Every structure is written in C-alpha cells, then in structure tokens.
Chain A
Amino acid sequence: MTKSCGATQPGADRFSYPSRDEILAAIREQKSLFDFERDVPPSLRADRDIVLAAFADATIEFRHVPTTLHSDREVMLAAAKCGFGGNLEALPDVWKDDAAFVTELMRDKPGCFEHASERVRSLREVALAAVATVGKGVVEWDNLRHVPPPLNRDRELLTTALRGHLQAYVHVPEDLRADPELLALAAEHSKGNSLVFEAMPASARDDREIVLKMVSRDGGGFEHASERLRDDKELLLVALAGRGRVLQYASARLRADPEVARVVAASKDCSAAFAYLDPAVRSAPDMVAQALANHADLKDFSEALRDDEATVRIAVAAWGRNYEAASDRLKAVREIALLAAQDHTRGITWGFDLSWAPESLRADKEIARNAVLSEDSNAKHLPQVLLQDHAFLRELVAANDRVLEHLPAEAARAVALARIVTGAHHGRRIVAAAVPATGSVYDNQRKVETLTVEDPSGSTLRVTSMPVLTYEKDGPVGSYLSVRYVVNVVLCGAFVFLVEENTGDKTSTYRWAVDRTSEEEAIRTHLWHHVYLVPWSGADGSVTDSFDSLRGRSLLLYEGRTARLPIGVSAFPGWNGYTEAMSLLGGSAPRQSKYATTGPRELTIAAAEAHEVGGAARVYVQGEGEGRSVWRWLIPHAEGPRAALAILGRTTHADDWRWLQGQVEGATPAQRGLLATHFAGVGR
C-alpha cells in the first residue's frame, strides 16, 4: 500500500489516495500485513465492505470502527469474533444484551458468554447453550461459573454442565452440592479430581460409594475422604493401587495394619509409601525382604534391623544407597560395601556414595572401581593413595571417561591428557595438551592445559592455561554465537605469534557498549583483532609461561578491526578448530576432518601453507603517520624476534625485497605467487 502509506505522512497531498477497490484488493492480498489504521484513508474508514474485509482478513482494532457501523449486526458479529476468546467485551453494551447475537457468537466463541449482560446470561436458553458448549475447542469453557442465580440452580442446566466440564461441580451452589443426582454425576465425570472432591459436602465425602468412585482412577482425592472412610481398609487398598503416597492420609489404625503393610511391601510404589507405615509393622519378618526388594529405604527400618547383617545385605543388594543407613559396624564389612558399590550391575545410579565408606574401604580398589563405574562422581572421593595410582586411574578412565570430570585436575592431567599435534613448520611443531570430556567453561573461556612449541634445537616454549575460545560475558557462554576471540599460537617462518582473532560478531555486549559509549570505542573494545610477536626463538632455551604473562611481554604488532593476521600453522585453525578437535577426542568420527586420529588420545593436523618465504613472515605492522601501517616481511635475525622487528622499523620494502630475492629460487610456486602479489601492491 505505497500510496496509502504516503497519504498518511507529511506531504501526503502530493499523492493520490487509493481507491476503494484498491483497498479491498490490498486486504485480500496482504491479509494480516494490512493495517487498517495505517492503510485506509480517513474517507474510507466508514466503508462497510472495507471494515468487514478488514475484520475477516487484516489487522483492525475495534476502536477504529466508526460509530456509524456500531449498529450494523454483521459488522459487529465480525468484530466480536476476532481473537481467541472473541471480543464481545469491546462491543457496545447493546450487543452484550442481545440474546440472539450472543447465542450466534457462542457457536464460534463460547467464551464470550462471560461478557454478555447479566440479563442475557440469566436467559435459560442462552445459558444452556453456554454450558453445552463445554469441551469444544482448545479450551474447555467453564461457563457455569458465569450463570447468575437463580438460574444457576436449574437442574437441567446443572446436569448438562456436569456432564461436560470436569470441574463444573465446584460452581454448583453450595446448598445443592449434596443433591444425589448431581453428586453421582460429579463422581462419575470427575473421578480423581481433587478440587471437585474437596468441594463436595462432608456427607458425600463420608459416602463410601462416592469415595470409591473418586479414588478408583488413581487414588487421587483420598485425602479428602472423611476420617471414617480413611479408616476403611478396602478403600485404602483401592487408593494404594493407584499411588502409594495416599498411605500418609490413612488412619493410624490402617497404617499399623499388617495386611496393609504387606500390600505396601509388595507394591512397586513401596518406596513412596513405606515410610508412612507404623514403625511397629515395618519390621515384620515376612515382609522385610520384599519391601527392600521394592526399594523401601533401609533408614525407615528399626535400628536393630539396620544392624542385622542379613537384612542389610538384602538392602544394599537392592540399592546401594541403603549402605548409608547401615550401622557403622556393618559399614565396615568389606563384602557389604562391595555389594553396595555394584549399583551399575543393577542399572541404578544415584545410589552408593563412596564417601560413606570408612577410609580403609575407600582405598579398596575393587570397591572404588565399582563405585566409580556406578556413579562417576564417586571419583571425587578416591583417597590419595588411589589418586597416585595412575595405572588404576587409567583403567577407570578407559571404562568411563566421565570420571575425568571428578578427578582433581592434577590426577586428570596425569592420566588422560590428549594431544593435538601440528605438522612441522621449519622443523617446529605445536603440541596442545588438553583433557577432553571435561566440557566446562571457566572464566568465560575454554582452555587447553598447555600449548607447546617444540623447536628442532630441543628447546620448547610452553604456554600454560591457554584460552582457545573466549566468550562474551553476557552471551550464552559456551555458544558458538558468543565467541569473541579464537586464540592461537601461530608458527610463521622463523617466528611465533600470538593471535587473538576476533569473530567480529556484534553480540549483545557489543550493542550495550555502543549505547553506553561511542561506536568507535565499542568497535575498539569488542571487534578488534590483536597480533603479538612472541619474543622467543629456539636459541633462547626452554621457557614456560602462562598465557597472560606471555602476552604481556610479547610485542604488539597489530590491532584493528580488519583481519590482518599472519597466516601460518596453528593447532586450532578456523572458527571450529577447537570444537572439532574436542568432538573428535570425544569420539565423533566424521568422514572428513582437518584432524587425523593417530592414537587413543592423539590428533594430528597437517601444517597449513604459511605466508612466509625463507623464514621471513609476512606481517601487518602499524606505525605512526600516513603510509606507515603496511604489510611487510619480518626477516629472521640471529639475535631473535626483537632484533628482527627493530630492523623492520628502520627498513623499507626495497630492503625486504633485497633479502627475499635470495630466497626466490628455493620458494614454492605458492610462495612466489605470494611475493608477486605482495610487491605488486606494497604498502596496501
């Protein structure tokens, strides 16, 4: 509706209004995208056909319907049918008081009965139609509640409502709720409905036949039965068949009844009911074993039984968790602890907890192994002597690598470090060491334990606590959508770089930063890449440093929004390098991957083609003034990277070329192409 949009804006007189036919065609075409208020010129807003078409297909609010149409029945019906429950509420009162109108509307919108006038809601035919519509559509309209007295006492109306809506009984006037016919209908149609049962008069809740019907579905409502009937064994047994927890509402007599106790003990819902039995019947010799087999909790048995070896053996054999309730004397029995620890053979988790066992038994390998296989979190309770037994830990990890989550970091590293190894580049390679299957994000980062550059001289640069993925603080941390940096150590020529590659994503943190500060500041803070030259060469010997410390003493080469990054060899190239490596170590095996699995916990990745020639790395350096920020070649220097960078600052492209000329003969075709491209456009 270009024309009409223009017509409603300043300067509209330059446009012609759309015609009536154009409006009608636009409604048919655009349907809900058509906005009556925006798209219909004032002169046509009272047009009956347009208003009707808008209610049928487009977006129109009732307040935009001109009053001249408020008396038009067809228009008002169309208006009242809008929305899920109808829109009778918005119409003039005259329509709310029109019985025929309301009745017709209720065929489509039964919920509109609520907004009819009291006079109309008091008309028997209308009210009957309203309660007869129950159960139709998505929502069951509980219209009985809106029928005013005295009509809400009409027998036909009430029985119709009770046959329909599950909870209609709660709106039956209180003095009629004891009516036998109504009660019978409610009991028949509202079985197990606690609200309905609670609304019944005390006499009904003391009526055995009604109570039997109410609890027969699943035991629900038993708590609302009279005190007398909560002492009725047959009723209780019916309810217990549905749900064990109803035992708590039974009389004290029944909770002490041996037959009830036997039923509970044999019930699959025994664990929910057993604790409500009277202590005197819980320990009956003929049912103890059965109750325990059905997962009754040993803590609900007498102290004597918890110190009875035969009983405790049965209990822990059913569920290792029962070990906790055994007497200290029996907890110290190795066979009992071992039996309890074997929940994994019973398909049970959340059972035996190794911390309940005395220290001497926690160091028992067979008990510890079973405990960890049953529940991997038991690994956190392994005593020091077992944590130092790496062969034992490897055995556990081989059986269930989730135990890594629960081992102290040192122990996990000792037994389960995986390696990601790059191909060699100028004799150097990168070895990243990580504990897979730990899956956790700390300080908004996913880290590897160490990342080591191995130099052919034998010396190493070891970076500890190396963050590979850094997430935005306010995004869904762990989501690929909120990765801010992918951090890599990059080998390029004779040099080592730290590269913080920015995803460039404008996450919500970025947006809020824009609102708080300037756009430029937000870009600098959130969208810049950072490239550092690491001041290390193989001749410097072996060095170990944390990532933060190493970055702090490295030389900033470049920071900016454009990705002017050195191209070289890294352990986690691309946005998915880390997730791909960890997924492979987790056992995924896609047909194609840049990583190859070369051992049970080892991946290798081929050395990528680096942008270097003869050890000189192509880097973007930033300098003061016009034309000082350019791509240059960092030429290897005998005194190391600092000296190389210092010389770069004093030389020109011509100097770069003079050095590189000597390397052309041994260069690959790709490197020659790189040189040609570089020097064809030096300075850009």
Chain B
Amino acid sequence: MKHNHISKPGYTTLQTVGLTILRVMIGWHFLYEGLIKFSTPGWSAKSYLMASVGPFSPLFKSLAASETMLQITDVMNMWGLVLIGLGLFLGFCSRISAFSGLLLLTFYYLSYPPFADFAMTGFVDGNYWIVNRNLIEMGALFVLMIFPSGHLTGLDRLLCFRKRNHGKEPVQN
C-alpha cells in the first residue's frame, strides 16, 4: 500500500470498520440531540439544570440561576452537540471531537450522578448504579480518542494528506 504510513498504528480492516461504525454511531447520536434542541422552540437547559441532583448540583443550579450563564450554557450545548456530532460522523478533527464529547458527557453525568443516595425524580428508563448510558458513551469516546479512525475513514484523511503534502513538498510554481 502506498499510504501505509498513514495507516499507523496499523488496524486490520475489520478493526477499522468497527471503529468507524462506533464513531459514526456516536456522531449520529450527538448530531441528532443537537438538532432536536435547535428545533425545539424555546429550548433551554434550565429545567434540566435546576433539577440537578448530587454533590455538584449547586454548580449546575447556579448556572441556571444566572441569565447570562444560562444563555452561554444553552448556546455551547446546542452548538457543541451539533459540531461534535458532525466531527465524529464525518471523521473531522475526530480526536478533538471525541475529547470534547467526553467533556460534555462528563457534565451530563455529574449533573445526575447515578448513585443510590440521590433519588432520581425524572423519567429515567432502566436502572443504573454508577454506570449509566452516559458513562458508557464516555468510555466509547475514550476508546475513539486512543484509537482514532478519522485519518482512515474520515475527512481527517484528506486533511492529513494535505498537511503532509504541504509540509513535505514545497509549493511548485
């Protein structure tokens, strides 16, 4: 293969397919969540933040209490979800996207930590203790961070090529 060097660390085809599917699925989920928020009239994280439970709830509640902070939170949340979603979906800046997704999910996780002490008052499907769906998705994003696939099956591949191309070969006139 001509482009062996960019295939490092050298996944097998099946591994590449597997990682790509995982990446696209999580990208799909983020993007859809983000677009839903854009499409819901008057959507705001306020009620979600206000109902936060656990040791970090004062922080989340204080975000909801301030108009400015709430606006910033809402905008970052909506755009964050959409951009991370697109990034993962298309394999664009996939490492940074995976990391940002991990960060965002950490906030979701901490605002409603699934510990037995905090009675969940909201509508939660399923039963969780410490490990919940957010944490599992965080784990998956962590895997995608250390086993990136964007440079193989994503726009990063084109970006890598251009970067390398640009660095190695001087512009010819």
A associates with B:
no
Which residues of A pack against B, CB within 8 Å? none
Which residues of B pack against A, CB within 8 Å? none
